[in-house]
Structure 1
Amino acid sequence: MRIVLYALLCFPLSFFSQTKAKVVGISDGDTITVLLDGNVQKKLRLAEVDCPEKRQPFGKNAKQFTSDQVFARKIIFTETNKDRYGRSVAKVYYDNGKYLSAEIIKAGYGWWYYSYSKDADLGKMQETAKIKKLGLWQDKKAISPWDFRKEQRENAKKKRLQKQMEQLAEREQR
């Protein structure tokens, strides 16, 4: 009994919550679909990294990098959270322990998502990629995905307001 208790205390809890799966889809640089036992598919949002959106420069490159790393391969993941869209946020490992989010950041295809990460080493990896001008860091005007999304929301809001103003003006002219 003591040995079992000791073993439980020595191993991190995350060790017991790791799940094996096969990657069957890549939505974008930071979102993959995996196949679990029982032929169940699950969408995973990669933890600690935010890749350019599809419509952003290097968005397709980020997706291709992620695909090259893990598509059709076996991975191990640990769920850390759920995002606002209900997707599981997960740390994904492949090739005997490579951490996918770190590999994306090191290659310059994603930003360290510091708002949702405490791992300062990822920030150092990002700075190194930036200095070496790897991936998206070749673009001197690279815009983070969170700023890009905010800009898209603001533009959409402006368009809606403009349309409403035009409709109001049309009604007043009648």
Structure 2
Amino acid sequence: MKRYTICLLLALLPVTAQATPPITGKVVAVTDGDTIKVLDADKQLTKVRLAGIDCPERGQPYGRVATDAAAALVAGKTVEVEVVDTDRYGRTVGRVYVDGNNVNRALVNAGHCWAYTRYVRDKMLFTLQDDARKAQRGLWRLPAAERMPPWEWRRKGKSKPKPSSL
């Protein structure tokens, strides 16, 4: 048993040694409520998708408000990005912090976005979302018909019926 534990620890060692270091830089653009661009000290621009959240899309009810809320929290500020993953579009996925405050959580807590059920690793996002919903903060004040999660909104947009040839 002891030998097995040692082998397991040695096998995991390279994985932990290869963890991506955090990105620190200035937010130079807020693309939408859950995507920003960060310029680091080496002038490297990184597009960052905020992990575990999904804000309303442009053209979707509350989309502009969510983008403005994200901008109010991060635009022009120095952030630290705890890298979680890289998405299929090549964006860095991460938890974003301003002065030690978790921006991902702040946006969910204020009701500006959903916990992105499919990708949540930070289970606190579900609690914050429930609190925002119960308190009717942010998008939770919208009529139910206007509160469509962005992943459903995108799916509907991609599956629009083709015009009839009649």
TM bracket (short chain)? 0.7 to 0.9
Change (3 A) 1:16 1:53: closer
Task: Name 1:108's counterpart in structure 2.
Answer: 111
Task: Name 2:36's counterpart in structure 1.
Answer: 32
Contact 2:51/2:95 (<8 A) preserved: yes
Q: Does 1:146 align with 2:144?
A: no
Q: Once the 2 structures are TM-superposed, how far is the Cα of residue 82 of structure 1 from its aligned partner?
A: 1.4
* Counterpart-to-counterpart distance in 1, 2:84 and 2:19: 12
Task: Name 1:6's counterpart in structure 2.
Answer: none
Identity of aligned residues (%): 33
* Counterpart-to-counterpart distance in 1, 2:18 and 2:96: 12
Change (3 A) 1:75 1:83: same
Change (3 A) 1:118 1:80: closer
* Counterpart-to-counterpart distance in 1, 2:17 and 2:105: 22
Q: Does 1:118 align with 2:121?
A: yes
Contact 2:22/2:80 (<8 A) preserved: yes
Change (3 A) 1:72 1:108: same
The one-letter code matched in structure 1 to 2:46 is: K
Task: Name 1:47's counterpart in structure 2.
Answer: 51
The one-letter code matched in structure 2 to 1:81 is: D
SS in 1 for 2:157: helix
Q: Once the 2 structures are TM-superposed, how far is the Cα of residue 16 of structure 1 from its aligned partner?
A: 7.1
Post-superposition Cα deviations, 1:81-124, rounded to whole Å, max 9, x if no partner, equal: 111211111111112x1111100000000000121113222101
Alignment RMSD: 1.9
Contact 1:14/1:78 (<8 A) preserved: no
Change (3 A) 1:14 1:133: farther
The one-letter code matched in structure 2 to 1:82 is: T
- Structure number with larger C-alpha Rg: 1
Q: Once the 2 structures are TM-superposed, how far is the Cα of residue 15 of structure 1 from its aligned partner?
A: 8.7
Task: Name 1:92's counterpart in structure 2.
Answer: 96
SS in 1 for 2:118: helix
Change (3 A) 1:85 1:145: same
SS in 2 for 1:24: strand
The one-letter code matched in structure 1 to 2:56 is: P
The one-letter code matched in structure 2 to 1:112 is: A
The count of residues paired between Structure 1 and Structure 2 equals 150
